[in-house]
Amino acid sequence: MDRRALLGGAATALTGAVAEAQGLNSRVRRVGLIGCGWYGKCDLLRLIQVAPVEVVSLCDVDSKMLSEAGQIVAGRQKSGRTPRLYSDYRKMLAEKDLDIVLIATPDHWHALPMIAAVEAGADVYVQKPISVDIAEGQAMLAAARKHGRVVQVGTQRRSTPHLIEARNDIVKSGKLGQIHHVEIYCYYHMRARENPMDATPPANLDYEMWTGPAPMRPYNSLVHPRRWRAFTEYGNGIVGDMCIHMLDMVRWTLDLGWPTRVTSSGGILVDPGSKANISDTQIATFDFDKLPIVWTHRSWGEAPDKKYPWGATLYGDKGTLKMSVMSYDFTPVSGPGAIHKDVTYEFEQYPEDRTEQDLERHVAPAIRGHMRDFLKAIDARSRPVADIEQGHISTTSCILANHSMKLGRSLTWDAERQRVVDDSEANKLLLRPYRKPWIHPARRG
């Protein structure tokens, strides 16, 4: 073999070794987004920041929102290309040319697109909660496993830098000692108080498709955009929106699986005048063997600790840890050693975060971290930190809290059988009817 051939072969081998070491992150992945509203763009633009991707497809039933998203993406991605625009996710996925699909629709539209995406061969990032009923979540988990796809759920507290530090340096190091009680809570005044008149949907919105499998309600300004969480037809209220984050964060921090029993009470106790039909006050207890985790939300009054209006407090026999999206505080039972840490914004690395419209700046580093973890799992064909199974556990727990409140009794959960123990009435609530012609994934042949 001559010297040139020898060097050429060595160079080829070196290139191959480098490519193997870098993994699939070295190639450009083709990405599609279903749901181009506020958080869909937040997720997608963070992915563009951390990976060599080409956004080739966008889908939304609001033509104005879809067109605006196309312009934003063209201005942010390296190629400068405007993605293809779709009003029906089924047509987008029928192309079968996407490596990654992001789903950031209202909650009632998570299950069907996620299952269709994995069937089309894509790995998926789906927003929380994964489903509006428990049977949807079971079908989503089964589909991900059947088709061997990586599915990351948008419970990004698991990838929040200062919360990872709190988990490792405070909890895992033993500074709290034995933890016997946890409180999780939200005191934001986030429940809609308006009572707008029903109206004709705007021309840019396909309201029939927007409603999809959910019960049909008259359109009004609370429904779209962004305030659909006011209605149980589309989601699971403040428990499904805010409790899931804190419950999932605590489960991850303490390595907890399924609760064995869920008990909840509350309702619309303070503000019955709004069209909103979700609770304004609710308490739920999630029992994990000998550890109760107690959730409270009030969309009225003041927070007991104004520094922690939404967060978790872990009580140990050696100290107390408060955790939120903005900071954490550790306080020992006695003596010095208190620790405080604030969120890290990463503005120097990502200056566009300062000017991006509607971005939750405090959570941008968490989304980036969550996307990196997602990509790493795709490379390794492994389970991401917020794998679909973890999302199913946290989502189901919150749905059970709402069922407990509705039925007025505690619910004992059999995680192996995925059923409520000895409660036929509660088990009927595991699957809610779909509006025709949509077919519930648990009832597909």
pLDDT tens-digit map of 253-301:
999 999 999 999 999 999 999 999 999 999 999 999 999 999 999 999 9
Helix or strand holding residue 227 (H, E)? none
In this model, does residue 238 exceed pLDDT 70? yes
User: 134-146 vs 388-407: helix axis angle to the nearest 10?
Assistant: 170
- Give the model's pLDDT for residue 335: 87
Which CATH number applies to 161-348+389-443? 3.30.360.10
The DSSP annotation for 129-166 comes to S--SSHHHHHHHHHHHHHTT--EEES-GGGG-HHHHHH
Quick check: 112 and 137 in contact, CB under 8 A? Answer: no
- Give the model's pLDDT for residue 25: 57
Q: For residue 422, with 0-12 CB atoms within 10 Å meaning exposed, 13-18 middle and 19 or more buried, which class applies?
A: exposed
Measured CA to CA, the distance from residue 253 to residue 97 in angstroms comes to: 37
Residue in 13, 125, 135 with CA at minimum distance from that of residue 384: 125
Q: For residue 10, with 0-12 CB atoms within 10 Å meaning exposed, 13-18 middle and 19 or more buried, which class applies?
A: exposed
* Structure confidence by residue, pLDDT tens digits, 220-236: 999 999 999 999 999 99
* Structure confidence by residue, pLDDT tens digits, 298-323: 999 999 999 999 999 999 999 999 99
The average pLDDT across 345-357 equals 96
Residue in 124, 96, 54 with CA at minimum distance from that of residue 377: 124
Quick check: 229 and 235 in contact, CB under 8 A? Answer: yes
The average pLDDT across 131-155 equals 98
**pLDDT class of 11 with cuts at 50, 70, 90:** very low
Q: What is the pTM of this model?
A: 0.93
User: pLDDT averaged over the chain?
Assistant: 94
Sorted by where each begins, the domain ranges of the chain are 161-348+389-443
